[in-house]
Structures are given as C-alpha cells and as structure tokens.
Structure 1
C-alpha cells in the first residue's frame, strides 16, 4: 500500500468555502509580528519609566493602556486583510473609529504622565500606519512619520533626559530607534501581505486562464470532429432525397439513394465513436491520480485528509470509479464537517473496494433512512453513484456511525464502462 504524503501540493484554485491554508497562515504570521513588536515597545517604555523613578500606579496605568492599545490595533489589521484596493483609508470608518480613539487616548495619557512627546505621538502614528492608504500615499506618509518621530525623539532626549544617568539615556536611544522603526516595520509587513495576495490572485487567474484555454481547445476539437462528419451527412442525405424524387430510372435511383443513406449512417457511427474517444481521452485519469487530486482538494478546503492506495490501483476500472471518487469527494466538501477524511482503494478478491470516510455533519447528504439526493440534481449524489456502480455490476454500501460517515463501493475487476456514461 502506498500512502499519499501529507505535504502534497495544493491545487491552483480552491472553492470559496474555505481560504487557502498557506495564505491564512502567512496572514497570522504578519499579524503576530506587528502585535508582538507593539507589545515589546510597551514593555520598553515600562523599563525606561521604571528607571526614571515612576511610581507603581503610573507604570500600571501605562502598562494596562498599552495592552488595550495593542488589542485595539487588531481590528485595524483585520480590516486591512479584507481591504478594497480602490477604497480609501476611511471607507469603513466605523471599524477604525474606536481603535483610533483608543490610540489617541493612550497617547495623551501616556504623554502627560511621562512628559515625553515621542511616547504621546507614537500610538496614533502607528495606528494610522495600519490603515488602507493608497500605495503612493502610504510611502509619503511613512516618510513624514519617520521625520516627525525622529524629531520628537531628539527633543525628548535634549529636555527630559538632560539629567538622567547614562544607563537610562542609553535605553532611550534604543527605544528611540525602536519607536521610529515601529511604523516602518508595520508598513513593510503589510506590504509583504499585499505582495502575497497579489501573487495568489495571479496564480488563481492563471489557473482560470488555463481552464478557459482547455475548454476552447476541447470545443475546437469537437467542432472539427463533428463539423466534418455532419457536413458529409447533410450532403449525403440531400443527394439521397434528390435521387428518390426523380421519376426516371426509379430502381437505379433508389439503389443509389439507399447507398447514400448507408454511407450517412456510417458517418453518424464514426462521428459518435470519435466523440466518445475524445471524451474518454479527457476523462481517462489514472485512479491513483484521481485519489491524489481528491486528497489535495480536501486539504485545500481545510480538511485533514489522507489516502491508502494499492500499488496496482492503476488497473482498477477507472471509467467506473473515477466519477465515483470525484462525486464522493464533492459530497464530503458539501455535507461533511470538514475536519478529517480518509480514502482507500485496494483489491478485494476479484473486485476492487473503494472507501471514503469523513466526520459527519448534521446537514450531511444522508438522512436517517439512507442517502439523500439533492433535489433537482438527477444523477448526482449518492443515488447517482449507486446507479452508476450498479450498471457495472458493483455495489454501494453507506454506513453512518457516531460522528462518522462511510461510503464503500465494490466493483468487479472486469467491470466495463456503464452505458450511461457513453
């Protein structure tokens, strides 16, 4: 048995049901980096103020206010994640009003208690840096913010720290560098997120373009294949009609007309076979690849999925089991809870056994009496799978346990393609 590795590549395009795990993880790395840097700035403040001899109550107020300010920055980051490139920074002003007010209040309180301009100004500038500014405007605002913060840092150094000891002054130099760098770090993190989103959108667009080109190619092949035969059939039938309408040499014309009709029927058969071969060429994916694709799709949707595939699974009847694998995977995405799924394909005596199991959901595609077929979707769902497998002399068994749902399909080794798929 071969197992599909957990690190398999994800498909290029995923459904809208869940976000791609990779880009979501990167988003949380970005958020945690910005938040951690802000928390570090607050603790540096407390360290410096403690060295300046501030009492415990003042340090407690500054520390609590700093944590509230950091928490208030999270809604700004969340709004930035779902931002509209064409919208301005105040497009969702209701969502930014409270965080900006918290930053202003914290800056005023901390600035008054400490008597430092940099401490009073940095929270507001940092919160403004997290807004959805246009890219050109954002760079200019960042440069202005760096100049303002550096100037306030220098003013505080010349006034409030004139009589401080060397250790506190050295700590203020470190904090000044961190404070001026805080908006820069935040903007760089958001810029990296913008680059990642742009790349992800380009990847999805490339996949959609590839699918469109493939559809156009298939349409061209079908047009070329059917167009030629249908044109010949039309000419043959027209000739037969004219021959049958003639009054002279009736027997000879009838024989010629019958010959044209036989040729037309042969052309129809050739066109049908050509179309069938073309369809099979696009449907003929090896079953190990089908299961690997199903696992990748489930993982892309946020489901923990794995598969066990027999080494000789490529010899299983793909025309029967291929659509079954695709349909059951779709059912898991539609009706499962989305936490885990397991797929397996192995030989069972003189038959092939395919099984897919997943965590059941309250709205799964099964009622208490058996499988449920979606209304208005004839031939789909578990009933459609049952009909397809029955045409290949196979069997479908559905089992639902406590929190689990199993679909087990058994198909004879020598199963042929169902008539309904031709």
Structure 2
C-alpha cells in the first residue's frame, strides 16, 4: 500500500524502465506464495459455500452453478492479481483497463449468484474481493477495506435472519462461511501489503547497490584526477621552464628540465598502474565465493572453507591462482564436485582445490596452466604440489605469510600436467 509520494520517490532510476517491480526477480517466489495464499483462501470459501447450499436444501443445479461460478471467480482473481503485479508507478492509481475484465466478471457472477440463491453475501463477496485488489492509494485502500468488511458483516446478518434457517447441520456450517467471507478483504489486502513491503525493500537494496557502485566510480575518478592533475601540472611547468631556457640560450639547463619532465611522465605512468592494481584487487574470500558461484553455475557441486583471517593472505599471488585453478576445473574436471580450501598457520597460507578426476583421455592433454601457476607462486617464495588419484585431482599451493625473495620454481611432474 504505497502513497503517491512513495510512488514518486521510487520511480525508476534508469531511463526506459517502466517500473522497478518488473525487475524484482529475486522475490518472485514470494509473489507466488502471496498469490497461492489468496487463491487458497478463496477456494476454501467456495467449497464451504457449496457445502452450506447443499445442506440448506438448494437444488443440485443451483449448487453446481455456484461451484462453477466460484471457479470463474478464482480465474477473475488471478487476472486481478496479474494486473496488480505488473502495475507501473507512472500509471493511474486505478488502471481501469486492466481492472475492467475482473470487475465485470465478478459483477456478473454476483448477479447470477443472487438470482439463483438469494444470498447477499454470495452475490457481493466476488465484487468486493476484486475491488480491494485495485491499486488504491494507502489511505483510500484502508477506507475501502473497512467499508467492504462492514458491508459484508451487515449482509451476513441479513442473510442469517432471512435465508439460513435450516436444520442443525446447516447451522453448524454457515457461520464458518460467513467468517471467511467477512475476513477475506482484510486477508487479501494484508497479503498484498506484505508483497509491497518486500518490493520496496528489494528496490532499496538495488538502489543501495547502484549508489555503492556510483560512489566507487566517483572515488576512482577523484583519485585519477588528483594523481594525473598533479603530474600534468608539474610536467607543464617543467616544459615551460625548458622553453624559456632555450630562448635564453641555456640549452644544458633546458635539457635537464626535459629530462625531469620525462621522469615525471614515468612517475605518472607508474602511479596510474599502481592505482589500477589497487582497485582491481579483490579480497580472497570474494575470489573464492566467485569461484564457487561459477562452478555451481556450470552444474558442479562446490563448497569452500575459508580462514577468518584470509584478508591477511597475499591476494596478489593467490588471487590469480584461484581464478586459474577454477578455470582448469571447468575445462578439465569431471564436472560433478569440487572443494576449495584457504587456511593459514602463522608461517604461511595454504590454498587447495580438489575436484573429481576427468576421463582418462583428458589426463594426457597438454596445458600450461599449472606451469604458470607454479612459476607465479615460486617467484613469491612458495610451492605448488599436484596430486592425481583415481577419482580426484588436487592442487595445493603454499605461500609464505610475508613476501621473500623468489625461491625455486616447482613445476608439476610431466605426468601430472594435464591442465
């Protein structure tokens, strides 16, 4: 139940999007739960109404007609719910075009129900149910629900005095039907209100994500501006000074300024590379999480164990190793399961990835993936160990906790290098 101000504030951020509700796929399951609850409540009401009419002694043809009308009412409710789900924030509060079919269907069913049974609550309930599902504003919808509930309660009391006068069997059933009918508008609106709350929360989450990305871009732009602006200003001053010295015939001093400008250019290039490297760095827990998601997306059952202090591990060494070994599992693994492990013991860090072995034909394939991993890890003072069994393949990488001069490069044995 959203107000007009909420609708305006929640308008789509990107041009061309008609409504954020069309993008809330992550809560689609919740929407189907909502629809199922409303339809189930209605279905129970239809069954109880048919039972009460039967016990009250109505003709079988009337009972069958009311049952068929109840099924059509469920269809009309489905149409109204679809219209509610796909309404847009820029549309009028009452989209009569989409509401015309369910409203007219409910009105016809109500008229037929009154003509065949003479029961007010049977005639009015379908119309009231569709009416409360229209896209009312918050305050108006509350008034509509209160008025609909009061109307159904009054009509139920009239029916109780004029229609439901049968035996004990009927008297034991019709009050339940009346209670369900009177509660139906409130239950429906509460379900839709809960859905609206989830939509707004999902929209807020998406907006927060976009805001975080925008702030990160702004931070990168600011750092690049500060870095390049400083160096460019220094280079401009050095070249201007060199030009003046040349005009004065001091070629030697001008050459020194040109050399200084070249040094400034090199410093700017290095600073840009360092900045790009810093922003490209991804925490290792995120690297492993991404690897697990990628493996699962490929149909592999993947799980990971990560040390709580993994942020202290050398991400510049292990990050590329995680990406390369994950790619190797996708290309050469059996495709059924994989396990990833990252632990530290104070002296160093151990990364291990184990997966089901591929077919024998794949074992003889040539590849340079493990050689590249071993070279990178060896330059950081670590080592790589490859173990291939009958049913699994394991790559274990050990790196020191702090960097040290490059040690010997451990290249996997020829029989193991299949990746």
Quote the residue 1:335 is aligned against.
Answer: none
Quote the residue 1:107 is aligned against.
Answer: 110
Quote the residue 1:282 is aligned against.
Answer: 279
Deviation at 1:56, TM superposition (A): 2.6
Checking the alignment, whether the CA contact within 8 Å between 2:24 and 2:203 is kept in structure 1 is no
Change in 2 beyond 3 A, CA 1:204/1:341: farther
Distance (whole Å) between structure 2 residues aligned to residue 149 and residue 199 of structure 1: 34
Deviation at 1:318, TM superposition (A): 3.4
Whether 1:29 aligns to 2:33 is: yes
Correspondent of 2:137 among 114, 134, 137 = 134
Distance (whole Å) between structure 2 residues aligned to residue 203 and residue 58 of structure 1: 52
Quote the residue 2:319 is aligned against.
Answer: 318
Deviation at 1:121, TM superposition (A): 0.7
RMSD after superposition: 3.7
Any residues of structure 2 matched to 1:15-414 within 5 Å, and which? 22-91=26-95, 93=97, 95-161=98-164, 163-247=165-249, 253-286=250-283, 289-293=286-290, 296=293, 306-307=301-302, 318=319, 394=368, 411-414=372-375
Deviation at 1:296, TM superposition (A): 5.0
Distance (whole Å) between structure 1 residues aligned to residue 159 and residue 199 of structure 2: 40
Distance (whole Å) between structure 1 residues aligned to residue 45 and residue 167 of structure 2: 21
Quote the residue 1:4 is aligned against.
Answer: none
- The total of aligned residue pairs comes to 327
SS state at 2:375 partner: coil
Distance (whole Å) between structure 1 residues aligned to residue 192 and residue 60 of structure 2: 36
Normalising to structure 1: TM-score of the pair? 0.67
Checking the alignment, whether the CA contact within 8 Å between 2:24 and 2:202 is kept in structure 1 is no
Distance (whole Å) between structure 2 residues aligned to residue 65 and residue 126 of structure 1: 14
Checking the alignment, whether the CA contact within 8 Å between 2:291 and 2:322 is kept in structure 1 is no
Deviation at 1:82, TM superposition (A): 1.4
Quote the residue 1:363 is aligned against.
Answer: none
Distance (whole Å) between structure 2 residues aligned to residue 231 and residue 323 of structure 1: 41
SS state at 2:282 partner: coil
Normalising to structure 2: TM-score of the pair? 0.68
Higher relative contact order (CA 8 A, sep 6+): 1
Distance (whole Å) between structure 2 residues aligned to residue 298 and residue 77 of structure 1: 37
- Is there any run of 5+ residues in structure 1 with no aligned partner, and where? 1-15, 248-252, 330-339, 347-351, 356-392, 396-408, 417-422
Encode CA deviations 1:6-30: one digit per residue, 9 max, x unaligned: xxxxxxxxxx9x9655411100000
Checking the alignment, whether the CA contact within 8 Å between 1:287 and 1:322 is kept in structure 2 is no
Quote the residue 1:358 is aligned against.
Answer: none
SS state at 1:88 partner: coil
Deviation at 1:316, TM superposition (A): 5.6
Deviation at 1:119, TM superposition (A): 0.6
SS state at 1:414 partner: helix
Distance (whole Å) between structure 2 residues aligned to residue 25 and residue 313 of structure 1: 40
SS state at 2:135 partner: coil
Distance (whole Å) between structure 2 residues aligned to residue 411 and residue 59 of structure 1: 78
Change in 2 beyond 3 A, CA 1:210/1:41: same
Change in 2 beyond 3 A, CA 1:345/1:164: closer
Change in 2 beyond 3 A, CA 1:205/1:125: same
- Is there any run of 5+ residues in structure 2 with no aligned partner, and where? 1-19, 307-312, 342-351, 356-366, 378-419
Distance (whole Å) between structure 2 residues aligned to residue 295 and residue 74 of structure 1: 39
